[in-house]
C-alpha cells in the first residue's frame, strides 16, 4: 500500500493528538504543518516543515489529504484552495458553525470531487462498533427509549481563551463543541430525530456567550422517544453515556464500555475503560481512536470508498443541534428537517 502524505492545518489543542496518530498510523507521512501562528506550528511539530501559507500546501504534490483542525469560523476559506488543488479533506468536528455552513462545506468538496471525512472518533471505540453491529442485526427488537447524557466540566479558564464559546468563532457552546461527538454516535444507532422540544441556557458558573447546558426531549423518526442532556457545568465532570432500550435488551455505553442487559437476565460487557476528556483536562483521552479514523480515511482513499463518517453523514448531528437551538430560542417544538 503506497504511503500517503498528510498536511496538518492548524496548531491548536488537538494538534498533538493528530500528530501522534499520524506518527503511529501505517501508510501515512506528515508532509508539514500550517498555522496562522508559525511559531506555534513549529512548537507543535519540532523539525517538521512549516508551510508559509495555504497556497504552499495546495501546491505540494506530496500532500494527498489535509487534516483541518482550525476553529469552525475559518473552515470555508481554508478548505476552498485545498479542494481546488484536488486535496482530500479530513475535518475535525464540527464541520462548520451551523447547519447552513456545514452543508456549504459538504457541497464544496462534492463539487470538487474530493473525499470529505469528519473526525468523530467515538465511533472507533470497540464498544461503539459492537453496539453498531448489534443494532444493525435487528436482534434487539425495536427501539423504545433513548437516553443521551453528556455531564462534562470546563473551568472558566477554558472559556477565557479568545473566541471560545462564542457564536462568531465556534457557532455555539456545549452542543456543537462537546456534545456533538455523543450526538453523532447516538444518531448512528437510533436514526434521525423527527421533532425536538428543548431548553438551553448559560449557567452562573460560566462567563460565556453561548450555552453551557442543554436539555431536549426527542421523538425519533422510527417511533422511539428519548432525551438529551448536555453540560460543561457539571463539576467535576463525568463520562458521557448513551442508554438505548430495545424490546429484547438494553445497551449502555459509558467510558468505553458497552453493557448489554438482556431481558432474560443475561449481562454482557464489551470494551475497555477509557478517558473521555469530560473533566478539567479536555485532552484526557487516547490518540488511538484518532489513529483509527486516519487509518480508515487512508483505506477509503486507497479503495475508492467512503470513509466511516462522511461529510454528508456528519450533517445528521448538525441538523439535530440546529433544531435544538431553534426550539430553545422559540420555546416550542421543532419538526426536524429530514
Domains and CATH numbers, the chain: 4-121+291-309 (3.40.50.720), 123-280+315-335 (3.30.360.10)
Q: pTM value?
A: 0.95
* Phi/psi at 88 (5° precision): -75, 160
**Would you state the pLDDT for residue 281?**
64
> Residue 275's pLDDT is what?
67
**Distance separating alpha carbons of residues 27 and 29, to the nearest angstrom:** 7
pLDDT value of residue 262: 97
Burial class (CB in 10 A: 0-12, 13-18, 19+), 97: buried
DSSP string for residues in 18-42: HHHHHHHSTTEEEEEEE-SSHHHHH
Put the strands of the sheet holding 143-151 in their side by side order.
267-271, 257-262, 249-254, 241-246, 143-151, 225-231, 213-220, 193-201, 334-335
* 271: nearest Cα among 247, 289, 248: 289
pLDDT by position in tens, the chain (length 338): 789 999 999 999 899 999 999 999 999 999 999 999 999 999 999 999 999 999 999 999 999 999 999 999 988 899 999 999 999 999 999 999 999 999 999 999 999 999 999 999 999 999 999 999 999 999 999 999 999 999 999 999 999 999 999 999 999 999 999 999 999 999 999 999 999 999 999 999 999 999 999 999 999 999 999 999 999 999 999 999 999 999 999 999 999 999 999 999 999 999 988 766 666 666 557 899 999 999 999 999 999 999 999 999 999 999 999 999 999 999 999 999 77
Contacts 24+ apart (CB under 8 A), 274-281: 274/125, 276/239, 276/240, 277/152, 278/150, 278/151, 278/152, 278/153, 278/237, 278/238, 278/239, 278/240, 279/152, 279/153, 279/236, 279/237, 279/238, 280/153, 280/154, 280/155, 280/236, 280/237
Total Cβ atoms within 10 A of residue 331: 9
Please report which residue ranges of the chain form alpha helices under DSSP H.
15-24, 38-44, 54-59, 75-84, 99-112, 126-137, 156-160, 174, 180-190, 288-303, 311-330
- In angstroms, how far is CA 54 from the centroid of its own chain? 24
Question: Cα(230)–Cα(179) distance, rounded to whole angstroms?
Answer: 6
Report pLDDT for 338.
72
DSSP 11: -
CA distance 299 to 145: 35
Sheet holding 4-9, edge to edge: 28-34, 4-9, 65-68, 88-92, 116-119
Model pLDDT, residue 337: 79
The predicted structure's pLDDT at residue 274: 74
Output the pLDDT for position 75.
87
Radius of gyration of the chain (CA): 20
Position 280 scores a pLDDT of: 60
> In the prediction, which pLDDT does 2 show?
84
Distances (CA, A) of 48 to 31, 39, 290: 8, 12, 20
Residue 284 is predicted with a pLDDT of 59
Amino acid at each position: 500500500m503506497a504511503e500517503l502524505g498528510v498536511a496538518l492545518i492548524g496548531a491548536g489543542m488537538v494538534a498533538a493528538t493528530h500528530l501522534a496518530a499520524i506518527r503511529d498510523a501505517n501508510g501515512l507521512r506528515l508532509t508539514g504543518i500550517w498555522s496562522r501562528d508559525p511559531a506555534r506550528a513549529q512548537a507543535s511539530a519540532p523539525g517538521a516543515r512549516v508551510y508559509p501559507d495555504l497556497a504552499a500546501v495546495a501546491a505540494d504534490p506530496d500532500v494527498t489529504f489535509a487534516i483541518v483542525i482550525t476553529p469552525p469560523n475559518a473552515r470555508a476559506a481554508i478548505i476552498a484552495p485545498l479542494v481546488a488543488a484536488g486535496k482530500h479533506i479530513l475535518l475535525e468536528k464540527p464541520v462548520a458553525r451551523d447547519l447552513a455552513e456545514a452543508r456549504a462545506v459538504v457541497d464544496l468538496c462534492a463539487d470538487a470531487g474530493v473525499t470529505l471525512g469528519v473526525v468523530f472518533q467515538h465511533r472507533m471505540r470497540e464498544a461503539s462498533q459492537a453496539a453498531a453491529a448489534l443494532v444493525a442485526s435487528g436482534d434487539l427488537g425495536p427501539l423504545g427509549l433513548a437516553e443521551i447524557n453528556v455531564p462534562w466540566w470546563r473551568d472558566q479558564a477554558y472559556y477565557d481563551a479568545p473566541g471560545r464559546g462564542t457564536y462568531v468563532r465556534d457557532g455555539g457552546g456545549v452542543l456543537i463543541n462537546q456534545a456533538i461527538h455523543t450526538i453523532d454516535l447516538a444518531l448512528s444507532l437510533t436514526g434521525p430525530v423527527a421533532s425536538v422540544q428543548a431548553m438551553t441556557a448559560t449557567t452562573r458558573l460560566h462567563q460565556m456567550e453561548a450555552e453551557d447546558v442543554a436539555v431536549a426531549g426527542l421523538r425519533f423518526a422510527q417511533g422511539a422517544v428519548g432525551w438529551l442532556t448536555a453540560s460543561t457545568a457539571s463539576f467535576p465532570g463525568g463520562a458521557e453515556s448513551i442508554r438505548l432500550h430495545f424490546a429484547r435488551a438494553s445497551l449502555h455505553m459509558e467510558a468505553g464500555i458497552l453493557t448489554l442487559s438482556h431481558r432474560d437476565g443475561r449481562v454482557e460487557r464489551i470494551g475497555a475503560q477509557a478517558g473521555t476528556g469530560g473533566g478539567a483536562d479536555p485532552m484526557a483521552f487516547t490518540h488511538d481512536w484518532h489513529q483509527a479514523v486516519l487509518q480508515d480515511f487512508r483505506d477509503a482513499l486507497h479503495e475508492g470508498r467512503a470513509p466511516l463518517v462522511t461529510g454528508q453523514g456528519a450533517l445528521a448531528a448538525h441538523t439535530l443541534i440546529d433544531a435544538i437551538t431553534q426550539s430553545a430560542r422559540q420555546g416550542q417544538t421543532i419538526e426536524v428537517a429530514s
